[in-house]
Amino acid sequence: MDLLTKYKFGELELSNRMVMAPMTRCRAIEGNIPNPLAVTYYTQRASAGLIITEGSQVSPKGVGYVRTPGIHSSSQVAGWKKVTDAVHKAGGIIFLQLWHVGRVSHPDLLGGELPVAPSALPVEGEIHTPPGKKKFVIPRVLETDEIPDIIEQFRKGAQNAKLAGFDGVEIHGANGYLLDQFLRDGSNRRKDKYGGSLQNRIRLPLEVTEAVVSVWGAERVGYRISPHFSSHSMSDTDPGQTFSNFAKELNKIKLGYLHMIEPIGGRLGVIAPQARLAPVIRKIFHGTLILNGGYDAHSANEAIEKGEADLISFGVLFLANPDLPLRFRKNAALNSADVSTFYAGEEKGYIDYPELE
| Among candidate residues 114, 118, 243, 240, the one with its CA nearest the CA of residue 186 | 118
Catalytically annotated residue among 177, 223, 350, 353: 177
Instruction: Give catalytic status of residue 177 as yes or no.
Output: yes
**205-234 in b/e burial notation, b at 16+ Cβ within 10 A?**
bbbbbebbbebbebbbbbbbbbbbbeebbb
Q: By three-state DSSP, how is residue 131 classified? A: coil
Instruction: State the burial class of residue 149 (Cβ atoms within 10 Å of its Cβ: 0-12, 13-18, 19+).
Output: exposed
Amino acid present at 80: W
Whether the Cβ atoms of residue 303 and residue 291 lie closer than 8 Å to each other:
yes
Q: Which residues in 262-341 belong to E strands, given as ranges?
A: 288-292, 311-314
Please name the helix (run of DSSP H) or strand (run of DSSP E) that holds residue 274, with its range, or none.
Answer: none
Beta strands at 12-14 and 7-9: parallel, antiparallel or unpaired? antiparallel
Residue 132's SS3 state is strand
The residues carrying an active-site annotation are 177
